[in-house]
Structure 1
Amino acid sequence: MSQADEDPTFFDRERDRLSREITSGFEELLSSTNVLNRKLEEVLGMTKEYETIAALWQSFYQLMRGPTEDEVDEEQPPGLPGTGGHVVSMKQSKNS
């Protein structure tokens, strides 16, 4: 075997260098994708924890907002329970 047969050609060296660079790039991409996946799982887990709290705040908001004109019922007296403005019954007895 001669010296020329053992030495890699420019093409072989360049191919090996590019293969190493591509392999390194894929390893970086895989690592970044794994980090992103973990972060997304954390975010999804947090949103599930906050569903109950969000529902509570939504009901509080609707209570404080009060009924809109479409939601007002003729038979429903104005006022919120626990505020002193809530009337339990609008019917009057016949004796009065």
Structure 2
Amino acid sequence: MSQNDEETSFFERERDRLSREITSGFEELLSSTNVLNRKLEEVLGMTKEYDTIASLWHSFYRLMSTSGQDPDASEEQPGLPGTGSHIVTMKQGQQQK
């Protein structure tokens, strides 16, 4: 056997080095992807919490807006002007000018 057969060639050493480098890069990519997934799950969990809080404040707002008013009066004004929920209606017997 010649000396080249016993030793690995330059090509084989370079191939092994590059394979290790690629493997290391993939492991780093996998680790970074796992961190990103955990952060995304945290963000999604927080948005669900905010939906609950927003719903609570909306209920509080509706309660406060109708407190001290006649129940019939709250039906006439279903929303606040400028919010897109205010609907102007005419009572029966009124004519539009």
Q: TM-score, normalised by structure 2?
A: 0.61
Between the two proteins, the alignment pairs up a number of residues equal to: 72
Structure 2: distance between partners of 1:55 and 1:74? 31
Identity of matched residues, % = 75
Structure 2: distance between partners of 1:58 and 1:73? 24
The structural deviation recorded for 1:71 is: 1.5
Find the counterpart in structure 2 of residue 25 from structure 1: 25
Find the counterpart in structure 1 of residue 9 from structure 2: 9
Per-residue Cα deviation, 1:8-27 (whole angstroms, up to 9, x for no partner): 11110110010000000000
Q: CA RMSD in A?
A: 2.5
Find the counterpart in structure 2 of residue 68 from structure 1: 81
Structure 1: distance between partners of 2:48 and 2:18? 45
Q: Higher helix proportion, which one?
A: 2
Q: TM-score, normalised by structure 1?
A: 0.61
Find the counterpart in structure 2 of residue 39 from structure 1: 39
Per-residue Cα deviation, 1:29-62 (whole angstroms, up to 9, x for no partner): 00000000000001101111110222344564xx
Find the counterpart in structure 2 of residue 81 from structure 1: none
Q: What is the SS of the residue equivalent to 2:87?
A: coil
Give 5+ residue unaligned stretches, structure 2.
Answer: 66-78, 92-97
